[in-house]
Amino acid sequence: MAAEDQKRPHPAVTAVLLTVVIGILLAFPVALYANVVAMIDGYRASHGQAGVPGTAVVESEHNGRGEQVCTGVFTPAGGGPTVETRIEVTGDCLIGQQVDARLMEGRPSPFIGYDDPRAWEAGSGDWAMYLPLVILFGLLSLPILLLLAMIAKRLLRGKTPPEL
């Protein structure tokens, strides 16, 4: 019996490891939500369905993680203050380039960049860059979904339907 006790980890170690694994699994649905919302916002703005209409002027561009990143100033069509923002254009961006765009305000997110505003030129397909992340985090969210389904099934197993 003493040999069996030595093979099992201490309950505190088990609790810590379980907490870490569940914490990691819970991060995936949050990342899935953030990327789905960003993709939908980008699609809607680039297709003229959402956002504040106006004009964006590219002031700088640089390569960031394998993609061209354009930044500049967005001016609302109806007047109002200008906004420094990332600009998604069709094709390559050139410093001084002016495009008609729609500004989408960022949404609160635990991830960097998702809470920043972004201007989308009509027809920009950059919203599709979120698709691989949506697929990835969707697949990584499956274990927590299966775990919740197993818990629900176990909780409901002992219940019998009411008699009519």
Asked whether residue 68 is assigned to any structural domain, the reply reads yes
> 21: domain range?
10-144
Give the count of domains, the chain. 1
Q: Look at residue 92 and tell me if it is in a domain.
A: yes
Task: Give a yes or no: residue 132 inside a domain.
Answer: yes
Sequential pLDDT tens for the chain (164 residues): 555 556 888 888 888 988 888 888 888 998 999 889 989 998 999 888 988 999 999 998 888 666 778 889 999 998 888 889 988 888 888 888 899 999 998 888 887 778 889 998 888 878 888 888 899 999 998 888 888 888 888 888 766 655 66
Q: Are 118 and 104 in contact (CB under 8 A)?
A: yes
- Eight-class DSSP state of 127: G
What is the per-residue pLDDT across 48-65, written as a single tens digit (0 to 9) for each?
A: 898 899 999 999 888 866
pLDDT given at position 157: 79
Closest alpha carbon to 144 in 38, 9, 21: 21
